[in-house]
Amino acid sequence: MTTKQHRLGTGFGAHSTADDVLAGIDLSGRTALVTGGYSGLGLETTRALTRAGAHVIVPARRPATAEEALRGVPRTEVRELDLADLESVRDFADRFLDTGRALDTVINGAGVMACPETRVGPGWEAHFATNHLGHFALVNRLRPAFAPAGARVVSVASSGHFLSDIRWHDPHFRDGYDRWLAYAQSKTANALFAVRLDALGAGSGLRAFAVHPGSILTPLQRHVPRDQQIAQGWITPDGTPVAGFKTPAQGAATAVWAATSPLLDRHGGAYCQDCDIAAPADTDDMLIGGVKPWAVDPDAASRLWELSAELTGLDSFGQGPGKAAV
Ligand SMILES: NC(=O)c1ccc[n+]([C@@H]2O[C@H](COP(=O)([O-])OP(=O)(O)OC[C@H]3O[C@@H](n4cnc5c(N)ncnc54)[C@H](OP(=O)(O)O)[C@@H]3O)[C@@H](O)[C@H]2O)c1
């Protein structure tokens, strides 16, 4: 089924915060997992979910930093996980599955952007490996934990996907590295992952969505020097974000909305923005956003799933080559 990208008119918008979209929603007794849930948008997401009553597991590649960031936030637990290391993903998932607990929500928010060329695992490009393959492996490993009554997985993608489809000929940039194309490809992959995961999981009650959170100043920009941020039109010379940028609380809203809104019950696989389904992008302006066709193409989503299953040796939803390895 092709994902229908059309706005619903949800009553929320670009200025809504995570608390706004959770007002009146009681998440007591629910368990969420938020990768990157101790920094930037993820930290706001964790805080908002706990305020609504959820218990939040926060995987962290820097557990001590995560503990510090979450000090005083109730109903949180930090567990070690490096998404760039598939053995770490396996260990994290095995430990979680051993607890026998169910997961209601997974928000795949962790990510890196515009890093210098970095190779991980068997020489994989680090954006593709961390932002996409790590989350692909995590969700496949955690499949037995998804709550049978219905669970949701939210991929935090980006309008950065505007810059690149999946580079089928060279996903690991063996032919020359470009840090922006590397980020863009990984964000297209995040969106396509939601499309395919939803198609494979819907029959067993698992729904998946992708979101663009908006543009927000966070530690994500650590690899972009200040003069380049000014040149990109993100900040003014005095460091103030330009009009159109969101606060972290607004930036967390769409992921939290996609994780909880009943309005999305019949729209699995959708790419969302500003607390609604995103419309097709009719400009190349990433601040305006919308979704490009290659990020919601179901055939590309199947192809990416197969590639990811082959690379990771995991496929607990489909019939790919790695099924037996789970
Ligand atoms: N901020 C924006 O304007 C914007 C716009 C569009 C999309 N997004 C997306 O939103 C998501 C969150 O970004 P953010 O702005 O909140 O950035 P952030 O503050 O830098 O948070 C990213 C998180 O990902 C974690 N992470 C990175 N590599 C990891 C790894 N190998 N294993 C485990 N965790 C890892 C980081 O951990 P450490 O702190 O330990 O490094 C951090 O907790 C990202 O997926 C990003 O692409 C952001």
183 catalytic, yes or no? yes
CB-count burial class (<10 Å; 0-12, 13-18, 19+) for 252: buried
| pTM of the shown model | 0.97
Q: Which residue, judged by its Cα, is nearest atom 44 of ligand 1?
A: 111
Encoded tokens for 178: 């470009």
Q: How many C-beta atoms surround the C-beta of residue 24 within 10 A? A: 6
- Plot region of 221 (φ>0 → left; ψ -120 to 50 → alpha; else → beta): alpha
- Plot region of 9 (φ>0 → left; ψ -120 to 50 → alpha; else → beta): left
CATH number of 18-325, picked from 1.10.10.10, 3.40.50.720, 3.40.50.11540, 1.10.645.10: 3.40.50.720
CB–CB of 16/275 below 8 Å?
A: yes
Angstrom distance (rounded) from CA 40 to CA 65: 13
CB–CB of 234/228 below 8 Å?
A: no
φ and ψ at residue 12, rounded to 5 degrees: -110, 170
User: Pairing mode, if any, of strands 55-60 and 76-80?
Assistant: parallel
The pLDDT tens digits along the chain (326 residues) read 456 899 999 999 999 999 999 999 999 999 999 999 999 999 999 999 999 999 999 999 999 999 999 999 999 999 999 999 999 999 999 999 999 999 999 999 999 999 999 999 999 999 999 999 999 999 999 999 999 889 999 999 999 999 999 999 999 999 999 999 999 999 999 999 999 999 999 999 999 999 999 999 999 999 999 999 999 899 999 999 999 999 999 999 999 999 999 999 999 999 999 999 999 999 999 999 999 999 999 999 999 999 999 999 999 997 654 443 33
Mutate to test the pocket of ligand 1, among 220, 223, 291 (most ligand atoms within 8 A of CB): 220
